[in-house]
């Protein structure tokens, strides 16, 4: 957000210190902690300005405890739209009824494979979870097909969410009319079930292009727009390119662990996005490098407007 020439301050910890007070100190301590402090102020101002907020995240985020924050943000209507990848639907549908397990990065993967356990970093997903997903999704698609044979992705996810329980971010997005956009709907186990269902019902269509028109409408209709983007990939790019024609975002916070030096979109900074017009020139934006599983809870817990 610019140079202030203020002194770097030492962090002072005490018993019972609140998250808000800790992050307030981090804001003046340098390195990525300083960027976290900037991010808190950005999203607080965005909320005060009634900026329409896009939340974008990759599917691995939904496999972690971050899913609980996504649920609360949707339940409390703190976000206006979600952009994610197809795997998020796998994680949300399964975890709404069955847990994932804590594991280790250093596990014997061949042994896990023999035991029917899929590893996602240090999160274990037993194979029977996908058996549950297959049964659940095929049943929901059959119900949806009875009344609707052509849907956009966001319309489909609203239908799916309405058939899940309250321990689901898709449920709360559906209930509160928060659209969930997914440009890469086939890239996951949920997408596999879509393909299988369409093989049996050739008139069942999912229109991704029409959904792109819908998400672009927000770019033109909303006066102020904010992007909170966790991770990279297609979800990140879909979020920012959809707002290009409408002049770009007024506020933006990126949290990712990718480097910008190999030219990928995943590692691209908020500053780079300004060269494209995806984020407005002169807007308040910051990139935080680090693990969203740690940084995002600190960010949200420090901004009362999002609680």
- Consecutive 10-residue runs of the chain (307 residues): their mean pLDDT? 79 95 94 96 96 97 98 98 98 98 98 98 98 98 98 98 98 98 96 97 97 94 96 96 94 96 95 96 96 97 91
Q: Is the pTM of this model over 0.85?
A: yes
The predicted-structure confidence for 88-107, as pLDDT tens digits, reads as follows 999 999 999 999 999 999 99
Q: Annotated catalytic residue: which of 136, 225, 274, 278?
A: 278
What crossing angle do the helices spanning 87-95 and 189-200 adopt, rounded to 10°? 100
Please answer whether residues 106 and 182 qualify as being in contact, where contact means their C-beta atoms are separated by less than 8 angstroms: no
The pLDDT of residue 3: 65
Question: For the segment 47-80, what is each residue's pLDDT rounded down to a tens digit?
Answer: 999 999 999 999 999 999 999 999 999 999 999 9
Cβ neighbours around 299 below 10 Å, total: 25
CA–CA separation, 182 vs 25, rounded Å?
37
Q: What is the DSSP letter of 98?
A: S
Q: Which of 46, 90, 294 is nearest to 182 (CA)?
A: 90
Catalytic-residue membership of 278: yes
The Cα-based distances of 33 to 2, 8, 29, 30, 38 in angstroms read: 15, 11, 7, 6, 9
CATH number of 47-98+127-298: 3.40.910.10
How far apart (Å, rounded) are the C-alpha atoms in residues 179 and 156?
10
SS3 229: strand
Q: Count other C-beta atoms under 10 Å from residue 277's C-beta.
A: 16
Q: Dihedrals φ, ψ of 285, to 5°?
A: -150, 150
Running DSSP on this structure, what letter comes out for residue 194? H
Contact (CB, 8 A) for 84 and 169: no
pLDDT at 2: 55
């Amino acid at each position: 957000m610019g140079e202030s020439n203020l002194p770097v301050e030492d962090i002072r910890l005490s018993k019972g210190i609140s998250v808000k007070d800790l992050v307030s100190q981090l804001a003046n301590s340098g390195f990525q902690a300083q960027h976290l402090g900037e991010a808190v102020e950005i999203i607080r101002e965005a909320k005060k300005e009634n900026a329409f907020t896009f939340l974008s995240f990759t599917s691995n985020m939904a496999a972690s405890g971050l899913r609980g924050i996504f649920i609360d943000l949707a339940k409390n209507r703190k976000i206006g739209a979600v952009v994610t990848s197809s795997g998020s639907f796998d994680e949300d549908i399964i975890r709404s009824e069955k847990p994932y397990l804590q594991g280790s990065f250093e596990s014997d993967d061949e042994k896990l494979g023999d035991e029917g356990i899929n590893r996602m970093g240090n999160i274990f997903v037993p194979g029977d979870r996908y058996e549950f997903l297959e049964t659940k999704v095929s049943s929901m698609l059959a119900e949806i097909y009875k009344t609707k044979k052509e849907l956009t992705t966001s319309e489909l996810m609203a239908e799916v969410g309405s058939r899940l329980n309250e321990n689901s971010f898709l449920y709360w997005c559906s209930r509160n009319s928060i659209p969930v956009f997914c440009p890469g709907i086939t890239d996951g186990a949920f997408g596999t079930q879509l393909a299988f269902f369409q093989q049996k019902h050739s008139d069942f269509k999912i229109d991704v292009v029409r959904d792109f028109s819908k998400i672009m409408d927000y770019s033109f209709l909303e006066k102020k727009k904010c992007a909170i983007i966790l991770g990279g990939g297609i979800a990140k790019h879909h979020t920012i390119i959809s707002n290009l024609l409408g002049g770009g975002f007024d506020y933006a916070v990126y949290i990712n662990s990718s480097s910008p030096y190999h030219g990928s979109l995943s590692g691209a900074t908020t500053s780079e996005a300004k060269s494209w017009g995806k984020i407005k020139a002169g807007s308040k934006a910051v990139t935080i490098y680090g693990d969203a599983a740690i940084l995002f809870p600190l960010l949200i817990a420090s901004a009362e407007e999002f609680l």
